[in-house]
Amino acid sequence: MRKNKYELKNVDLWYSDFQALKDVNMDIMEKEVTAFIGPSGCGKSTLIKTLNRMNDLVEGCRVTGKIHLDGQDIFGNINVNHLRKRVGMVFQKPNPFPMSIYDNIAFGPRTHGITAKLKLDEIVEKSLRDAAIWEETKDRLKKSALGLSGGQQQRLCIARALSVSPEVLLMDEPTSALDPISTSKIEDLISDLKGDYTVIIVTHNMQQATRISDKTAFFLLGEMVEFGKTETLFSMPKDKRCEDYITGRFG
């Protein structure tokens, strides 16, 4: 039996006086792809950044309610660095470090105390293989990561996130800056990764949500309006606002 990876209860979030999330309740299952959809400014990126406490870095941000990861309160007595090791993040624009491909991948493991070259070599190869970019990079590991194409850089960033063996991978519009061929490669990769990881993706692209996600949540003005199996939500939405969004009446 699969279990809940995340449980969110009555989550509210404010940036100073502005309430960005309103009473969000959801259970996110392990080893599934969960998509967050909705128009710009609806709270989906805010929520994904709350799941590994990236929002701690935003001044005036406050969160109430409970977010549990494997039953543990992420705002309780928890080491934030350890939380971010367990919950990796891939951003909208590829952001490789200005160093070699090898050092990009080895950066996280080194931070967590792995220094043996053989072990690092193993992690670098496995991470690049898991991110489906080993064949394209194996002969240029010492070259700068900035020499890769946009799509390759994004797969490198996924490999970098995988290098510390996370349990969850958060992806904030990971293909919005990419061409269709690179997008397709990343989508195939996400489908492969869910065998080993819990993947949560924010996407503007509703076709993408239908192609890769098991469950979809629709957000509007900070509220989670509807959440369920992807095929059900897209074929028989229960809420009129969700129906209007997916049929293109607004957004």
Tell me the C-alpha distance between 72 and 66, whole Å: 10
In the prediction, which pLDDT does 248 show? 87
Contact 203, 178 (CB under 8 A): no
Assigned domain for 47 exists: yes
Assigned domain for 251 exists: no
Contact 155, 171 (CB under 8 A): no
In the prediction, which pLDDT does 63 show? 97
Tell me the C-alpha distance between 190 and 201, whole Å: 9
Assigned domain for 91 exists: yes
Assigned domain for 129 exists: yes
In the prediction, which pLDDT does 237 show? 97
In the prediction, which pLDDT does 251 show? 59
Assigned domain for 164 exists: yes
Assigned domain for 216 exists: yes
In the prediction, which pLDDT does 2 show? 78
Helix residue ranges per DSSP H, 69-112: 80-86, 101-111
In the prediction, which pLDDT does 167 show? 97
Query: How do the pLDDT tens digits run along the chain, 251 residues long?
Result: 779 999 999 999 999 999 999 999 999 999 999 999 999 999 999 999 999 999 998 999 999 999 999 999 999 999 999 999 999 999 999 999 999 999 999 999 999 999 999 999 999 999 999 999 999 999 999 999 999 999 999 999 999 999 999 999 999 999 998 999 999 999 999 999 999 999 999 999 999 999 999 999 999 999 999 999 999 999 999 999 999 999 987 75
Contact 222, 191 (CB under 8 A): no
Assigned domain for 24 exists: yes
User: What is the model's pTM?
Assistant: 0.94
CA-closest candidate to residue 108, choices 93, 95, 129, 123? 123
**What is the CATH classification number for the domain harbouring 16?**
3.40.50.300
Q: How far is CA 196 from CA 70, 100, 118, 152, 249, in A?
A: 16, 27, 24, 22, 37
Could you list the residue range(s) of the whole structural domain that residue 84 is in? 4-246
Q: Which residue has the tokens 């502005």?
A: 18
* Tally of domains within the chain: 1
